[in-house]
Structures are given as structure tokens and as C-alpha cells.
Amino acid sequence: MKDTREAASALKQHAREIAETRACWDRKPLLRAAYRSFHEEIRRRLAPGGGLTVELGSGIGMIKERIPACITTDLFPNPWVDQTEDAYALSFADGSVRNLILFDVWHHLEYPGSAMEEFSRVLAPGGRVILFEPAALSILGRLVFGIFHHEPIHSPQPQTWFLPEGAQRAALPYFAAQGNAWKMFRGGKVPLPLAENWRCAEIAYFPAFDWLAAGGFRQKQLAPLALAPILRMASSIAAILPLAFATRMLVVLDRS
């Protein structure tokens, strides 16, 4: 009975957050423009060939504006996703997926090694995983994500790569460590627990000043949409110093 009540509460909380996200999306044109540019960066890096393109943790499914054929998923159902999926136990057949996209999902995976084992199973030969994450350990990133974001940058516990034997996925607590992608992939290296099966094909960093000015999904928008071209130009200049100015990062992982 307790588990049923907790599941119902989690579903209600998720529905409330999704509704708030959609309302914010509808009223912030600069935020929409920033995310469209992020999704275009992802679209340009999709592996060619047959197979599905799947996004995990899609929220309100914004990515379909740039990648219409993408299958959108989330842990809980909502009107904007195609199906529910658990990153640790995907429903897709072996070798059926060409691209797996994780937008602000990697830093929620407490056991990334177990997730990557599942990704390896469903990916076709030549398939890839594309991560879009906070660049939370640059100078500007520490300020933005450390002060203005509710999730922690670091996990208080040492990194654990694989689900403990006998662990129940449905009982896993909420996890967030926004700096994980930076710590794990900075410099283009794949962490040892993943290095045998994965190769880092690319890392790109984005100051994303338009996204910052939009205030994300929680803060007030600070600039009008008309300033988006100027903000993007400033971002392209600042991108030459990612250690100082990056706030977002894109990681492309290919199966070895």
C-alpha cells in the first residue's frame, strides 16, 4: 500500500512539473529559440543509416520540432511523449536503435555503467549516444548551476557505475549531479568502466548566452527575442574559452 501511494505521489508530482514546463515553454520565445538551436546541434550529429532515433527523458517532447521522427520517451506518461521508458531496462529490441539522445538526463543516472550496457544492447552497429548536459564545472557554469539551479553539481557519494546486485530499479531514489558529464568526459576521454565499448567521437561546448538570458525553465526571462542574434554572436566568440564561459556541453559517444 505504501509503495502504491508513493508511486501515485510521484506521478502527480511529475504531472505538475510537466504542466509547469509546458506553460513556461509557451510564454518564453527566447527559451524556445535557444532549445531549437540546441536540438539543431544534436540533429547535425545523428548517425546516418537505418534504425530508430530515440530520446530518453523527453519531458514535453520539444525535440520533435527539429527531429520529427524521434521517438520521445519519459519515465512517466504525459501527452507529449510517445512511450514510457526506463534507461536501465529499455523496451527496444537488440540492435534496433541508431541514435539515443539524452538531454539533461545523464546527470540523473546514478549508475551510468548499467545504463550504457543497456544502450549498447539496443544500438545497431555504428549507433551512437548523444548527451547534452550542463557544463557545470566551467567558471561560468559553476556560477549558473551552483547558485541559480536547484540540483547539486556534485554527488555526496563516490561514483558508483553499476547497479548493485538485487537492486530494485523502481525503488531508486532521485539522483542528480550536474557536473558528472564534465568530470567524466572532459578532454574527450571515456571513463575506464566504459572505455572498452565506447569512444568519445566529439565534445562541443556552448556558452549559450541566449539560453541564460531566457532564464531557463525556472528564472525570469531577461532579454527579448530580438536580441537572440546578438547573444548567439557573443556566444560564438566566447566559445573559444570553454573553461571560462561554457554553460552547456554536447558529448557524442560511438560504440567501439
Query: SS in 3 state form for 23-73?
Result: HHHHHCHHHHHHHHHHHHHHHCCCCCCCCEEEEECCCCCHHHHCCCCCEEE
Is the model's pLDDT at 84 over the cut of 70?
yes
Q: Quick one: average pLDDT of 67-90?
A: 97
pTM score, two decimals?
0.94
Would you tell me how many other CB atoms lie within 10 Å of the CB of residue 44? 10
Residue numbers of the domain that contains 120: 2-255
Give the pLDDT score at 16. Answer: 81
Number of domains comprising the chain: 1
36 three-class SS: helix
Is residue 38 scored above 90 in pLDDT?
A: yes
Q: State yes or no: pLDDT of 6 exceeds 80.
A: no
* pLDDT confidence of residue 10: 59
Express as a percent the part of the chain with pLDDT over 90.
Answer: 84
91 SS3 class: coil
Averaged pLDDT for residues 70-90: 96
**Res. 4: pLDDT tops 60:** no
Kindly indicate the confidence band of residue 256, based on its pLDDT and cuts at 50, 70 and 90.
confident
Distance in Å from the first CA to the final CA of the chain: 45
Mean pLDDT (whole number) for 3-17: 63
pLDDT digit string, tens, across residues 105-123: 999 999 999 999 999 999 9
Which range, of 160-174, 180-194, 240-254, averages the lowest pLDDT? 160-174
* pLDDT above 90 for 74: yes
Whole-number pLDDT of residue 115: 98
**Residue 148's domain is classified under what CATH number?**
3.40.50.150
